[in-house]
Structure 1
Amino acid sequence: MERVAPEQVGLAAGGLDAVDAAIQARIDAGVVAGAVTLTLRHGRIARIRSLGLDDIEAGTPLAEDAIFRIFSMTKPITATAMMILHDQGLWRPEDPIARHLPELADLQVLAGEDGRVAPDHPPTMAELMTHRAGFAYGLPLGEPKDRIEALYRQARILGAADLDEMVARLATVPLAHQPGTLWRYSLSMDVQGAIVERLSGQRLADFMRTRIFEPLGMVDTGFFVPPERRHRLASLYFKPLDGPLEKLAVNPMRPDPEREPGLAMGGAGLYSTALDYARYAQMLLNGGTLAGRRIVSAAGVRAQMTNRLPDALLETRFVAGHQKFRPGFGYGYNGVVFTDPALAGVPVGRGTYHWDGAAGTWFWVDPENDLAFVGMIQLLSYAAPPLQEITQTLMAGALGA
């Protein structure tokens, strides 16, 4: 991707300097070790910056081509995989999930502590794509927040050897709520990964590699980091509420695999670089193409980046990490969609689509301004700075807003 001066694509260098300064301030304060950021406009790289350190103790600078654990920034890519299959007519939003995963045909809904009742209707693909099907997550971190999380852990759903086994285990636990009634962050995108495998006849990793990564030139993106690239894997840090950054020897969310994992997690399993993810972001901005290669239809990209949540649900103002859902700030397929930026209080273009990851990575694509931004850090913390909103707000200065 061509690199140009910001002014060549209508951006003010001073505005981008303010974005850099905000991130550098968090590095100087000892909140973040280092960051790689990339700004795209009109299909060209207006700025890429490597700030801070990869390894604080060793004093090693963070490299531009560092590989990051992008965790939930996997989710938008899984949505694209699903839309490729939608383009082929292999699923519809109104389909019951069980049409594609028959093991889930008899799901019940949790009632009280251990009771179960029939669902009002079978959960649909549209609900699966928007965290409304009734699934939970069951991440093995801390104490379970409620009974359904405890049941997921007891069933070891995320400890399955592969996606078929994960679905079989998921069939033994109830839904957290009636389908369609609530938004609950969940393993829905891992379920989508299982559907990709069933509909395509390929493993999820193979499908993504051949249908998305290779055509886009995403050479460093996948579900593991090969041994010859392991030295480029960014150090992972933890920040307690009070105390300095602590380098982690092991990824506590899921140990970094040495080879292709059996369970390819469509919700959180990928590794990538800022440059690779920028190619994916530019494909979304281009309506499904990059460098003359079509990955997904323009209609598929529009569907992914269209809000699917009713106003009544957004009025409840629920939260998922740094994502504070509210009027003007909705959700499409596997990512946030700004329907009214002024109402949401963030100065991005209408239709901006974004998501983030557990270790602090973030991105957005802004079709109205033909702009994309990718930010990569490696920080697990309950008090991580809201860098996505901070940088979105400052980017308005570069756009002249």
Structure 2
Amino acid sequence: MLAPTPASPESAGMSKAALDRLENHLKQRYIDAGRFPGTQLLIYRRGKVVHSIAQGFADIERRVPVKDDTIFRIYSMTKPLTSVAFMMLVEEGRVALDEPVHKYIPEWKNLGVFVAGTHPAFLTRPPSRPMLIVDLLRHTSGLTYGFQQRSNVDAAYRENKIGEVVKAGTLQGMIDDLAKIPLEFSPGEAWNYSVATDVIGYLIGLISGRPFEQFLKERILDPLGMKDTDFFVPKDKAHRFAACYSADPQGGMTFHATERKGTLTLQDDPTTSSFLSPPSFISGGGGLCSTTADYLTFCRALLNGGELGGVRLLGPKTLKLMTSNHLPGGVDLPAMSRSLFSEAAYNGIGFGLGFAVTMSPAQTLIAGSPGEYNWGGAATTSFFIDPAEELITIFMTQVLPSSAYPLRRELRTMVYAAITDSNL
């Protein structure tokens, strides 16, 4: 896919001075302060890349700088790709959003809702209604993530290593394990960030009749020319793979020229990472690695109504459906959420079919537009797309957890502050 031509911010109604201020903020507050190893920020508006700068290190230990072709673990930024892939099957009439999940996973038909007990001796009650396909896409299924450490149910997930990207298991094994663990709540009654998108990946394989990773490659990655996006990093690209770090408030290594104390601990060495070989567990919820350029290609297709360079993924009406709020009653995330999943408060934010969606910028207390949609990954990667402003922002780094710093809020504030010619 032909890459967009770089252009000046002013040519697309943005301020270079404001974007330079954002880069200085990232450098001084995060890189020089030892909070991030390095960053890559790309801003695209009105068909032009108006800002694209890489700073700092992709690998501190080996002094490898972040470059335009650095490969990052995007973790939950995998979810929008998986959700789009599934909606391609919906468009083909092969599955419907209001169908019960047990139509495709019969062993889940009698899943109960947690009342009391610990694994494997749970007391349950019947759900008020069956889990639907739409519940998986909008995270109202009653499933959970083990990392939430909030309940006896997610404790059972941890015990069974359910949903762990690096687990030595399979998608089928996850489905089998989940049949033995109750739901957190009756489907549709709450929002809970969960392994639901991994289940969507499983359903893609089941319905399409080919492995999920093959479907994704044949229907999205290859047609769009996303050659650096995969569930593992091949040997010939391993030198481009970034290290991943954990935020360490106590201070870790010293690595800056100023000898300022760092706050990072190496979490995943790119020379020994499990991402260097094909996984047995193909995670549609968090398994992909990618580059900023590849992810921009995917985002451009979405911003363009589901099509780019003659390759159509979805129709614009389907994409509009995906980026509408699907939470029951039209409420926002805080009204339904049981999750501990990000640093943002999410007032005024709903959830669609694979994306968080801004409903009311005034309630978020952050500049933005109604209809803007976004998500991020565990290692502090993030993106947002604003159709009204013809705007895409993609941010990459590799620091766990994403909640360590209020970076996403700062990015949104400073990117929108750079707009000088608003479409609204």
Match for residue 184 of structure 1?
Answer: 192
2:290 aligns with 272
Which residue number corresponds to residue 390 of structure 1?
410
Within 5 A, what are the aligned runs for 1:12-161? 12-25=15-28, 26-113=30-117, 114-139=122-147, 144-158=149-163, 159=167, 161=169
Q: Report how far residue 348 of structure 1 moved.
A: 1.4
Aligned to 1:248: 267
Tell me how far 1:160 sits from its aligned partner.
5.9
Structure 2 residue matching 1:165: 3-state secondary structure: helix
**1:336: Cα distance to partner?**
0.8
Deviation for aligned residue 1:241: 2.4
- Structure 2 CA distance, aligned partners of 1:15 and 1:214? 36
Q: Give 1:346's aligned residue.
A: 366
- Give the Å deviation of 1:317: 7.1
Question: Is 2:342 the counterpart of 1:321?
Answer: yes
Change (3 A) 1:248 1:203: same
Pairing partner for 2:377 from 341, 353, 357: 357
Equivalent residue of 1:73, what SS?
helix
Residue identity in the other structure for 2:292: A
Change (3 A) 1:312 1:293: closer
Structure 2 stretches of 5 or more lacking a match? 252-262
In the alignment, the residues of structure 1 paired with residue 418 and residue 296 of structure 2 have an alpha-carbon distance, to the nearest angstrom, of: 19
What amino acid is aligned across from residue 210 of structure 2 in structure 1?
Answer: Q
Q: Distance in 2 between matches of 1:308 and 1:236?
A: 34
- Kindly state the Cα deviation for residue 103 of structure 1 after the two structures are TM-superposed: 2.4
Two-structure CA RMSD over aligned residues (Å): 1.9
Q: Give the superposition deviation at 1:293.
A: 1.2
Q: In the alignment, is the contact (CA less than 8 A) between 2:98 and 2:132 conserved in 1? A: yes
Q: 1:261 aligns with which of 266, 270, 279?
A: 279
In the TM superposition, what whole-angstrom CA distance separates every residue of 1:221-278 from its partner, at most 9, and x where no partner exists?
Answer: 0100001001100111112222121223458xx9523332221100000000001001
Which stretch shows the higher mean deviation, 177-186 or 52-61? Answer: 52-61
Q: Is the 8 A contact 2:231 2:289 kept in 1?
A: yes
Partner of 1:10: 13
- Which residue identity is paired with 1:293? V
* Aligned counterparts of 1:303 and 1:382: Cα–Cα separation in 2: 28
Contact 1:182 1:313 in 2 (8 A): no
Name the SS for the 1:343 alignment partner: helix
Q: Which digits, 9 at most, give the CA deviation of each residue in 1:21-59, with x for residues without a partner?
A: 221121111111100111111222111100111233443
Matched, 1:200 2:208: yes
CA contact (8 A) 1:160 1:166 kept: no
Distance 2:220 2:331 in 1: 35
Alignment-mate amino acid for residue 105 of structure 1: K
Q: Is 1:237 aligned with 2:257?
A: no
**Which deviates more from structure 2 when the two are superposed, residues 158-167 or residues 308-317?**
308-317
The answer for the alignment partner of 1:171 in structure 2 is 179
1:248 partner letter: Q
Among candidates 208, 217, 220, match of residue 212 of structure 1: 220
Query: Contact 1:9/1:41 (CA < 8 Å) preserved in 2?
Result: yes
Q: Relative to structure 1, is the Cα distance of residues 382 and 48 closer, same or farther in structure 2, using a 3 angstrom cutoff?
A: closer
Residues of 2 paired with 1:316 and 1:383: CA distance? 20
Equivalent-residue separation in structure 2 for 1:306 and 1:313 (angstroms): 12
- Deviation (angstroms), 1:77: 0.9
Would you say the 8 A contact 1:250–1:256 is kept in 2? no
- 1:381 Cα offset (Å): 3.6
Amino acid at match of 2:52: I
TM-score calculated relative to the size of structure 2 = 0.89
- TM-score normalised to structure 1 length: 0.94
String of CA shifts for 1:54-79, please: whole Å, max 9, x gaps: 23344332111100000011011111
Alignment-mate amino acid for residue 22 of structure 1: H
Which residue matches 2:352? 332
Q: Is the 8 A contact 1:215 1:295 kept in 2?
A: no
Q: CA deviation at 1:296?
A: 1.3
Separation (CA, whole Å) in 2 of partners of 1:385 and 1:17: 21
Counting matched residue pairs gives 395
Three-state SS of the structure 2 residue aligned to 1:284 is helix
Q: What is the alpha-carbon distance in structure 2 between the residues aligned to residue 87 and residue 62 of structure 1?
A: 39
Shift of 1:311: 4.4
Per mean C-alpha deviation after superposition, the further-off stretch among 237-246 and 354-363 is 237-246
The one of 390, 400, 403 aligned to 1:370? 390
